Amino acid sequence: MDLRKQFGSLIANDEISLQVEAGEIHGIIGPNGSGKSTFFNTVTGFYDADGGSVYFDGTDITDASPDEIARRGLGRTFQIASPFRDLSVRENLLSVYTAGLRSGLRITEGKRERAQEIIERLEIEHIADHEASDISGGQQQLLELGRILMLDPQCIMLDEPTAGVNPALQNRILDHLRELNEEGQTFVIIEHDMSVISGLTDRVTVFDQGKVVMDGDFETVTSDERVREAYLGA
Contact status: 12 vs ligand ADP (CB under 6 A) = yes
Angle at 57 between CA 51 and CA 62, to 5 degrees: 20
Q: What is the DSSP string of 163-216?
A: TT--HHHHHHHHHHHHHHHHTT-EEEEE-S-HHHHTTT-SEEEEEETTEEEEEE
Q: Which does 12 bind (CB under 5 to 8 A by kind): Mg ion, ligand ADP, none?
A: ligand ADP
Contact status: 38 vs ligand ADP (CB under 6 A) = yes
Do residues 162 and 196 make contact, with C-beta atoms less than 8 angstroms apart? yes
Contact status: 37 vs ligand ADP (CB under 6 A) = yes
Q: Which does 26 bind (CB under 5 to 8 A by kind): ligand ADP, Mg ion, none?
A: none
Look up residue 181 and give its amino acid.
Answer: N
Distance CA 206, CA 208 (A): 7
Contact status: 27 vs ligand ADP (CB under 6 A) = no
Figure out which of the listed residues 20, 28, 29, 37 binds Mg ion, where binding follows CB under 5 A. 37
Closest approach of Cβ 79 to Mg ion, in Å? 5
For residue 80, the SS3 value is: coil
Of 91 and 191, CB closest to Mg ion: 191
Of 41 and 95, CB closest to Mg ion: 41
Of 28 and 173, CB closest to ligand ADP: 28
Footprint (CB under 6 A) of ligand ADP, residues 128-167: none
Strand ranges in 17-115 using DSSP code E only, listed in sequence order: 25-29, 55-56, 59-60, 74-76
Q: Given the rule CB under 6 A, which residues bind ligand ADP?
A: 7, 10, 12, 30, 32-38
Positions touching Mg ion (CB under 5 A) are 36-37
